[in-house]
Structure 1
Amino acid sequence: MSEYRNVHFIPPRPVQREKRVGIYCRVSSNSLEQLNSLTNQVSALTRLTASTPNWFLVDTYIDIASGKTGLKRKEFMRMLEDCQLKNLEIIITKNISRFGRDTVEVLESLNKLREYGVRVIFEQEGLDTADTDSELMISIIESIAQAENESRSDNIRWGYKRHAAQGTSKLYNRKCYGYENDEDGLLIIKNEEAKNVRLIFDLYLRGLSIIGIKRELEKLGIKTPTGKEKWSKRTIDVMLSNEKYIGVVRLLNAGENQEHYVSEDNHPAIISKEQFEAVQMEKKNRSNIVKTEDGVKRKSKKYSSK
């Protein structure tokens, strides 16, 4: 036995059990661009799982659902059920915005998964619930959500401005009374309503007040743009000032530097420019507001109905 006196026996290392991993991915629509994004998400997270020692990919959960609250994510719910049944120990997802649709939903889901003993890893942000205490995780998620909301708002404003400047904004072809959209979404004249628009302009130039026009329309049984029998003075007043009736669309970018985007001859005109300008001049003449050296004042008498 003396020959083994200097030999040290090393006990075998215990075999490390593999961690059961689930991948969660979400895209907001089934457009080609979003499906390509989905493919990239799944591919990247699968490679990451395969390259990590002792990780075993159990399942991949994929939802195609928008960020609107109230829409069910079936795969997300199936994943939570698997976590509750102890089928998963780790969930890996691309980022916080893919995991949840708002801060409240993310935090509620993380609390559930913490109760189930499941670790969640957000690959893009480099966040791991196993290494981050709950208070810090909450503050991080809230700050990221706020930044994403601000970025999303900036992108919407930028897109609106770009489309308006290029003349491709859908707002250029938003219909109003007297118009409808054709198969391509462009404005075309709706003859029956256009006839009523011309009548309103004609009555005003013949001397009727807005109240007088309201009474005449109701007497003739002409329905309002929303199908009601009683017209409002506001509706008629707005129609008499709407440049859309001469084929013009004017969009305003209400940012720090206000910019107007005007599209002339954007669509067929219902009213001639001469008649429209005559109405604007008449409205100005009938107004009980006058500008003086002392500022803006009201006239002593308003224009009376004829």
Structure 2
Amino acid sequence: MKSSEGGIKYARNKKVHYIPAKPPKRDKRVGIYCRVSTNSLDQLKSLTAQVFGLTRLVAATPQWLLVDVYMDIASSKTGSSPREFARMLDDCQSHNLEIILTKSISRFGRDTVDTLEALNLLKTLGIRVIFEQESLDTADTDSDLMISIIESIAQAENKSRSENIKWGIKQRAAQGTSKLYNRKCYGYVHDKEGNLIIKDDEAKNVTKIFEMYLHGKSVIGIVAELERLGVKSPTGKDKWSKRTIDVMLSNEKYTGSVRLLDNGKYEAVYLCEDNNPAIISKETFQAVQIEKTKRSNVIKGENGVQRKSKKYSSK
């Protein structure tokens, strides 16, 4: 076929073959770090979800190359660093990683101090850390700002954790399932089911202590009498402390009733009557509380709480 300008032949309607551009080389070595606090089923599902989500994120980023996945199941109360976290830091120091990808700040370190120490080390090594949930990248975030963010998140999480614990304690107290109802004290032991039963020899001493107090003996006088009689303390020692006697004289459990959350931190108090066998009567217990108030050197007047000039003393 000739052109009108010089008879040069050329092809029409030829099939064009497109050569794709070379994909970016995956040369940024990435490590994924995931952590959960327990090995419960829910936590293990969370661990799986973390790994799956972060692996997809690496795969979707052309220049990233997944080198390793580090997974810890470690309690925040553990004294030593989780093994996989330590292995990851070793790999960073060996320059096997350039980027660390993790779900969130709370999943990175055990606490604020742990997190900040690790980040300072990684910054020194030139390692970039990305927190997916908070959309934070240490490569783009000022160090002071990062510290401020981490501390703020830690404070919020601690408050939330504290509220959850308080809520759990309250719920168990309200439902009567709290183990605190059957917490052992001097005069009682647990049966096979974990219920409180009277320990006879100690119960006799409890009764004696209440009687001595009502008959005019001071706490110091009761301590001296118990030591003279050779009665061992609740911890098996020859010496009794004033604090131990004072706590016993205020322990309502000896009447068979247990009062929980009576410390001002909760809006409700839970009283479980007939929780355990009684060692002393309710009347005796109330009489002791009245006597303790009489002997106290603290009085309430128009100007608030004041102390008497002299404290009640009885031999």
Give the TM-score normalised by the residue count of structure 2. 0.80
- In the alignment, structure 1 residue 127 sits paired with structure 2 residue 153: no
Distance across 1 between alignment mates of 2:160 and 2:215: 53
Question: Post-superposition shift, 1:175?
Answer: 1.8
Distance 1:231 1:133, change over 3 A: closer
Q: Counterpart of 1:16?
A: 24
Question: Matched residues in 1 for 2:98 and 2:136: separation?
Answer: 16
Alignment of 1:128-277 (within 5 A): 128-206=137-215, 208-252=217-261, 254=263, 258-277=267-286
Counterpart residue number, 1:87: 96
> Within 1, Cα distance between the matches of 2:76 and 2:171?
24
Amino acid at match of 2:212: L
Worse-superposed segment, 120-129 or 15-24: 15-24
Q: Distance in 2 between matches of 1:191 and 1:55?
A: 71
Decide which moves more: 26-35 or 75-84.
Answer: 26-35
Whole-angstrom distance in 2 between the partners of 1:39 and 1:293: 64
- The answer (yes or no) to whether the contact 2:217–2:314 under 8 Å persists in 1 is no
Paired position in structure 2 for 1:8: none
SS at match of 2:269: strand
1: CA distance between counterparts of 2:197 and 2:139? 61
> What CA distance in whole angstroms lies between the structure 1 residues aligned with 2:311 and 2:85?
68
- Is 2:314 the counterpart of 1:304? yes
What is the CA–CA distance in structure 1 between the aligned matches of 2:284 and 2:272, rounded to whole Å? 19
Q: CA deviation at 1:206?
A: 4.8
Match of 1:98 in 2: 107
Gaps of 5+ in 1: 4-10
- Counterpart in 2 of 1:107? 116
Pairwise CA distance, 1:246 = 0.9
8 Å CA contact 1:161, 1:253 repeated in 2 = no
Q: Which moved more, 1:296-305 or 1:82-91?
A: 296-305
CA distance in 1, matches of 2:64, 2:259: 59
SS in 2 for 1:23: strand
Of 56, 65, 68, the match for 1:56: 65
Look up the match of 1:42: 51
Taking every aligned residue pair, what percent have the same amino acid on both sides? 67
The answer to whether the 8 Å contact 1:205/1:279 transfers is yes
Aligned-residue offset at 1:265 = 1.3
CA displacement at 1:222 relative to structure 2: 0.3
Give the partner amino acid of 1:162.
Q
Q: 1:65, 1:71 within 8 Å by CA — same for their partners in 2? A: no
Please state whether the residue corresponding to 1:259 is helix, strand or coil: coil
Secondary structure (helix, strand or coil) at the match of 1:168 reads coil
Q: What's the RMSD between the two structures over aligned residues? A: 3.3
Are 1:248 and 1:266, in contact at CA under 8 Å, matched by a contact in 2? yes
What's the CA shift for 1:35?
Answer: 2.0
Return the TM-score normalized by structure 1. Answer: 0.82
Structure 1 equivalent of residue 125 of structure 2: 116
Q: 1:281 deviation in Å?
A: 4.6
Amino acid of the structure 2 residue aligned with 1:95: S
Residue 115 of structure 2 aligns with an amino acid whose one-letter code is V
Q: CA deviation at 1:197?
A: 1.0
Distance 1:87 1:192, change over 3 A: same
2: CA distance between counterparts of 1:23 and 1:31? 21
Alpha-carbon distance between aligned partners in 1 of 2:300 and 2:262, rounded to the nearest angstrom: 29
Are residues 126 and 184 of structure 1, via their aligned partners in 2, closer, same or farther at CA, if it must alter by over 3 Å? farther
Residue 65 of structure 1 is matched in structure 2 by: 74
Q: Which residue number in structure 1 is paired with residue 14 of structure 2?
A: none
Amino acid at match of 2:314: S
| Alpha-carbon spacing, 1:126–1:276, altered in 2? closer, same or farther (3 Å) | same
| C-alpha separation in 2, matches of 1:45 and 1:231 | 59
Q: Can you list the C-alpha shifts for 1:155-182, whole angstroms capped at 9, x where unaligned?
A: 2222222222222333222222112334
Distance 1:131 1:209, change over 3 A: closer
Structure label with greater radius of gyration: 2
Q: Distance in 2 between matches of 1:55 and 1:301?
A: 76
Cα distance in structure 1, aligned partners of 2:237 and 2:93: 56
Task: Give ranges in structure 2 of 5+ residues lacking alignment.
Answer: 1-7, 10-18
